[in-house]
Amino acid sequence: MLSRTGTGGVDRRAMATLSAGHLFTDIAQGSIPALLPFLIARDHLSYAAASALVLGATISSSVIQPVFGHVSDRLSLPWLMPLGPALGGLGVALAGLAPSYGLTFAAIVLSGLGVAAFHPEGSRFANYVSGARRASGMSLFSVGGNVGFALGPVLVTPLVLAFGLHGTVFVLIPTWLMAAVLVRELPRLRLFRTDVESGRVRSSAEHEAWGPFALLAGVIALRSFVYFGLVTFIPLYFVDVLHTSKAFGNSALTAMLLGGALGTLVGGPLADRFGRRTVLIGSMLILPPLIVGFLLSGPVLALVFASLAGAATIATFAVTIVMGQEFLPGRLGVSAGVTIGLSIGLGGVGAPLLGLLGDASGLSAVFEAIAILPLLALVLTLALPQGRSAPRAGATARATARRRETATSR
């Protein structure tokens, strides 16, 4: 049977599968920043060159996402979900084996393409299987990605310390196993396909709020400047400024990302209770003092501030995904491609710019710049409408699934 929680109406098995797929896809993505200190040491890279690797991962994993989203809005491509962790893991494995900077860059781009393949379809199905509290449901999906990104350093760092950069090949084991699980679950997940998804019924143009959606994309891009700045430079700050070990620096990154995962679980329910815009405003207000506190602290206290900054930054990821889906209710794939992909990718352009600032003025100047960015995002957030009532593709999906239960009881 298709099992659902009593209050949220979320199909537990489907959401667990989607969240796990998100986790193992983003393990690959989270491994890239953790590899940077080792790649810098091996290849004698500048901060700008190292940041360019992050940019390559970001662009390949994000800019192409609206294309996947547009096509999947029309055709439905659920097989892209198992392709995500499969390509993501392969790219990370090859990045450690690559003998040159150019081939390392190419491998990281391949990993990013796997990430791009997974997210539009994954977030679409997360919408379909969620109950009335969409932000809470999307939080469950998003936290899989947050935890996966946080586990990337936990998985990769011991492998590289034990086997050298060639140890990245072992990332193939969990990511390809997850791909196999997703292949097995695809027939059941297809039960949640709807007329909206296949293009038979589409929300009319008057339901699409492109103006607020563009403002939201700007907020996400600025937030992503902050996010990629933190994930790129927190490990390097601990090593080069606070003089900790590389392992401790990657532990700080993990602490930040795990803080973000906890923030995601809190952010969705808070958004359902108090409003999406309210939670977004609160996040942007508290980020600058947290980053300043990080700069003024020693290693242990800086670890705490990194965790809190991660929570404040990442808590709104699910919130903005749902806001985008509400602004464009008939284009869930395009919405996800932009809110998860393109806008975040545009934000990722900031990593090399911050790297240049770090080369010129030091890493403290980088974090001072990062502390200003949430205030710019706050201005755009204040221009967003208070709330929006949108047609629920997910409600149609659940009705479709219920009609099929008797024929597909499992």
Where do the domains of the chain lie, and which CATH numbers do they carry?
Answer: 12-407 (1.20.1250.20)
List helix spans (H) across 203-274: 210-240, 246-274
* Tally of CB atoms within 10 A around 211: 12
How far is residue 309's CA from residue 256's CA, in Å, rounded to a whole number?
A: 7
What does the DSSP 8-state code read for residue 341?
Answer: I
How does residue 374 score in pLDDT terms, banded at 50, 70 and 90? very high
Q: At what angle do helices 80-97 and 12-43 cross, to 10 degrees?
A: 20
List helix spans (H) across 130-171: 134-163
Whole-prediction pTM value?
0.73
Over the stretch 320-357, which tens digit does the pLDDT of each residue have? 988 998 898 878 778 888 888 776 677 667 778 888 99
| Residue 82, token pair as written in the block | 């198992």
Q: Which residues pair with 4 in a beta bridge?
A: 11
Q: How many helices (H) and strands (E) does the chain have?
A: 18, 0
From 211, 216, 254, select the one nearest 234 (Cα to Cα): 254
Residue 28 pLDDT > 80: yes
Q: How many CA atoms lie within 13 A of 173 on its CB side?
A: 7
| Residue 285 three-state SS | helix
How does residue 395 score in pLDDT terms, banded at 50, 70 and 90? very low
pLDDT at 408: 44
Over the stretch 179-237, which tens digit does the pLDDT of each residue have? 999 999 999 888 876 544 444 344 444 478 889 999 999 999 899 899 989 988 999 99
CA dihedral 347, 287, 123, 405 (to 10 degrees): 180
How far is residue 264's CA from residue 142's CA, in Å, rounded to a whole number?
A: 7
